[in-house]
Structure 1
Amino acid sequence: MDPPMTATITRRHVVLFPFPAHGHLPGILAVARLIRRAFPTEAVTITLVCTERNVPALRASSIDDSIDDIHPLPFAPSDHGLPADNESTSTLQVAQFITLFEAFESLEPAFDAFIAALLAREQGAGGGSGGVCVVADPTVAWTVDVARRRGCAHALYLCCGAFGTAILHALWRNMPALPFGPDGLLRLPEHPEVVLHRSQLSSTFLDADGAERWTAYQHRRMRHAYRTDAVIINTVEDLDPTGLSMVRRALGDVVPVFPVGPLVRDSDETTTTTHDVLGWLDTQRPASVLYISFGSQNALRPKQMAALADALESTGRPFVWAVRAAGAGEPPYVEWTGFEERARAQNRGLVLRGWAPQVSILAHGSTGGFLSHCGWNSVLESLTRGVPILGWPVSAEQFYNATMLEEVWGVCVEVARGNQLDSPAVESSKLGQAVEAVMGDATSIRRRVLEVQELLKGAWAEDGGSSTAALQGFFKAMRLVSTTTTTTLSI
């Protein structure tokens, strides 16, 4: 057996600053676990920074012994036009997200004071002025100003894939000077090989005129991001080479980019909600069930939900459909006439309202396909479990994730786009055909998924794994070097 990997450091303090959104937190917590597995507590202290009202939720979530401390920053949502008790995206409408992003910029003085006090303590303990490094979500890229002021190392953690990230960056960088051609197509100046259709842009882009808040915020964020010391990204070199090349070019090939994926959850978060879904899956044939979920922030329009329900009935395929709870101002659950009752009576499907144990469902042997919005966390959770994807992207980089998965890897079939009133019409017959294409005797797509599953697994091989090597490169970039510790790195 090969000897375990050796990582060496002097005492350091790593400060993680995630953004309080469901899809942003798991990856940065996985980064904390990687650091902890490499370096013992006496060598590295890991502190998570958040706002005060997010502390209880974080302590109750999947945070484990990797995190040594949680430091709350004072924040008054009502000062920024937000609900008084709201400090995350979980209960906000999408239109309010920009207000939260802007409001978090006001945290810079408090964060600066925290880093200054931390450095004073570390210097007193012999850590030196370089004893603190900051790893931040790109939505709080302004943390680089604090790091520069205080002489700290700084990195950004990107929770999305590289291809989708690069396209979003190019779109915002060129806003509003991106005219569509008469064919409804758009070409990116930095990446002329990439051709986008109007239906692959969220309304945020379509409504941008260069003078509104979204564009101004994104341009501020990008200026900060260019000054970071390193970027770590939740993808794999061999899975996402084109996207990684695009990201590196966007950063001027100066800032090192370290793909350290796949960072996925091993299990579902604990919850007081219980479902009979796993027991029901035990009664189904292997690889026969279609799992359906559009993530924590997305909801289909009522007509789209009805079309999907019709498609499920027409195919007769067993399914588990996780329907997101409607937020303020959003359409309520659609009560299809008899649909749910018929599915239960025939033992053909379950509709789950709210939380669903997604990791456990995807890992179950009866699950044979995933109808997904193609958010990157969901993509990786599906592919690492060997489950092919039916793509229904609805916003942000999800459209480009679906394109890469279908056109490059052949592990996805895109079935529809969008969830807005002006989204293309969804035909239940075409949905049904797509479901059959993936859930039937689709030996080609299943073979490709298993190949990708092995590729992802190999990224963390101790000897020659690309993510293993990238993690070591990241440690060096963050100056996590010198004295002594021995450990084996694994996901």
Structure 2
Amino acid sequence: MATTRSRHVVLFPFPGQGHHAGFLAIARLLRLELPDATLTLVSTTRNVAALRASSKSLSLNFHALPFVPSEHGLPDGCESCSSLPVQAFVNLFEAFESLEPAFDAYISGLVSRKTSTAAVDVCVIADGFVAWTASVARRHGCAHAVFLSCGAFGTAVYHALWKNMPGLPFSSSDDGTLRLAEVPEVGALHRSQLMPCFFEKDASNRRTAFYRRLIPHGYGTDAVLVNTVQEFEPTGLAMVRRALGGKVPVWPIGPLVRGQESTSVADDDDVLRWLDTQRPASVLYISFGSQNTIQPKQMMELAAALESTGRPFVWVIRPPIGFDIAGEFRDEWLPKRFEARARASNRGVLVRGWAPQLRILAHGATGGFLSHCGWNSVLESLSNGVPIVGWPLGAEQFYNVMMLAEEWGVCVELARGNNNAETSVDAVQRSKVAKVLETVMGDTPESAAMRRRVAEVQKTLKSAWAEDGGSSRTAMHEFLTAVRLQ
């Protein structure tokens, strides 16, 4: 009797907005490439509900793992990064490690469905922050891949930093720099390009301990998928491949950019109508991501700088550090009557909370993006041909800016970090804001050259999924073949 074969792909994202977006994008690709395969998104109950609501147009299954936040010192109902300040993310990292037994039982159930006449090929695609799933896949003979939602260059540097923790090799000359042997392409890193956790000297520090447990799992996977493009990040991808010792294949399958948001919210329509009144490529879009903000003094200085330049802007604004980022925004955090003057002169719009970022970036009036340079924002900006003003705040964002500025010349760094208000306010003085905006959005040979480079990157990203041999399309097919899904 002939044996039939079915394919089941299990997707396990880490619960952050950008991570969920990346996995939904992978699900869309897999549904196109494997129309008959079963696709299941796995997470905790609240995250499954959010993923289900975001994927109504896809034919997906969902599986919720049992999870009680209070058992892990998390607030009631806290199952994602959106409910935590950045410094508390380690609580969620550790809590998700506790899901291994339940995930093991789920995978065991899938594999046990094999019979003499029906075989199930199971492949787990997991977020880098749940790379421990590789051990589960190994125990049950399943294929496994780690998906990196960040860029290759930033990931490689971040990986090298954690491998050296604790006790990073800072220069003995006390100039605030360090060099990492694992990534010689980077040169010197300055202390201002490191998160505060990298100055911990205790090996038992929870975040350091977590990464020490996590990193070895990444070496045990069958494949690494990266949300980037080979032609866009050749240096970064070479660094990732070297870090893995050449033993794990690395396939760039980006850019995985969210689809255009469809919304009928009046405030969102107002923003787009306001953009319709502005000159082409004249507006600066400002957003520090869904979970980041800046110091009160930085916010005040940036507002004053925008007013002094007179350049039109859309600013997605949230309460500053020290306040509930999801709370109400208070006028006292900006210069007196700042918003009223901006509206009266038709020079600017403040958006509180969520904004239709993709629609803003795709609008012809948008000429620059002041961003924290999280990877999703980077790809969304460049895919729409919008140059970047960089203000990295944490994680690998500092190294994303390095790559964008030094390798491609499509980004100019305005400021760095949000931990030391006094130092960073100096970095956003009005004169510097004016100079950087002129470089990125002005009418000078320098700004024109930047726009040409951005257009080149935009073309590179678009061509990666071309029907006639785009590099990311080819990489995806090679991956599916390697893990017996195609």
Instruction: Report the TM-score, using the length of structure 2 for normalisation.
Output: 0.93
For residue 183 of structure 1, what is the aligned residue in structure 2?
A: 175
Q: Is residue 2:153 matched to residue 1:163?
A: yes
Match of 2:349, SS?
Answer: strand
The 3 A distance-change label for structure 1 pair 415 and 327 is closer
The 3 A distance-change label for structure 1 pair 270 and 217 is farther
For residue 486 of structure 1, what is the aligned residue in structure 2?
A: none
Residue-by-residue CA offset, 1:373-406 (whole Å, 9 max, x unaligned): 0100000000000000000001011001011111
Cα distance between partner residues in 2 of 1:269 and 1:209: 48
Match of 1:396, SS?
Answer: coil
Q: Is residue 2:454 matched to residue 1:449?
A: yes
For residue 394 of structure 2, what is the aligned residue in structure 1?
A: 395
**TM superposition shift of 1:187:** 0.2
Q: Is residue 2:346 matched to residue 1:351?
A: no
For residue 419 of structure 2, what is the aligned residue in structure 1?
A: 420
Amino acid at match of 2:297: K
Tell me which of 277, 280, 283 is aligned to 1:283. Answer: 277
**TM superposition shift of 1:465:** 1.1
Cα distance between partner residues in 1 of 2:5 and 2:176: 56
Amino acid at match of 1:298: N
Aligned CA-pair RMSD: 1.7
User: 209-218 or 367-376, which moves further after superposition?
Assistant: 209-218
For residue 201 of structure 1, what is the aligned residue in structure 2?
A: 194
Conserved in 2, the CA contact under 8 Å of 1:92 and 1:328? no
Q: Is residue 2:21 matched to residue 1:23?
A: no
For residue 372 of structure 2, what is the aligned residue in structure 1?
A: 373
For residue 436 of structure 1, what is the aligned residue in structure 2?
A: 438
For residue 124 of structure 2, what is the aligned residue in structure 1?
A: 134
Conserved in 2, the CA contact under 8 Å of 1:46 and 1:66? no
Amino acid at match of 2:464: A
**TM superposition shift of 1:30:** 1.0
The 3 A distance-change label for structure 1 pair 125 and 180 is same
Conserved in 2, the CA contact under 8 Å of 1:134 and 1:153? yes
Match of 1:12, SS?
Answer: strand
Residue-by-residue CA offset, 1:154-184 (whole Å, 9 max, x unaligned): 0001000000000000000011231322221
Conserved in 2, the CA contact under 8 Å of 1:185 and 1:196? yes
Conserved in 2, the CA contact under 8 Å of 1:315 and 1:436? no
Residue-by-residue CA offset, 1:196-234 (whole Å, 9 max, x unaligned): 111100112123532201111001110111000000000
For residue 66 of structure 2, what is the aligned residue in structure 1?
A: 74
The 3 A distance-change label for structure 1 pair 288 and 108 is same
Aligned residues: 468
Cα distance between partner residues in 2 of 1:123 and 1:321: 58
Amino acid at match of 2:469: G
For residue 221 of structure 1, what is the aligned residue in structure 2?
A: 214
Cα distance between partner residues in 1 of 2:472 and 2:71: 42
Any unmatched runs of 5+ in structure 2? none
Q: Is residue 2:74 matched to residue 1:47?
A: no
Any unmatched runs of 5+ in structure 1? 1-8, 482-491
**TM superposition shift of 1:193:** 3.3
Cα distance between partner residues in 2 of 1:430 and 1:37: 47
Residue-by-residue CA offset, 1:428-457 (whole Å, 9 max, x unaligned): 221121112211111011010001101111
**TM superposition shift of 1:274:** 3.3
The 3 A distance-change label for structure 1 pair 271 and 401 is farther
**TM superposition shift of 1:273:** 6.8
Amino acid at match of 2:465: W
Match of 1:267, SS?
Answer: coil
For residue 300 of structure 2, what is the aligned residue in structure 1?
A: 306
Q: Is residue 2:242 matched to residue 1:249?
A: yes
Conserved in 2, the CA contact under 8 Å of 1:92 and 1:327? no
Cα distance between partner residues in 1 of 2:323 and 2:370: 25
For residue 465 of structure 2, what is the aligned residue in structure 1?
A: 460
Q: Counting helix residues as a fraction of each chain, which structure ranks higher?
A: 2
Conserved in 2, the CA contact under 8 Å of 1:164 and 1:398? yes
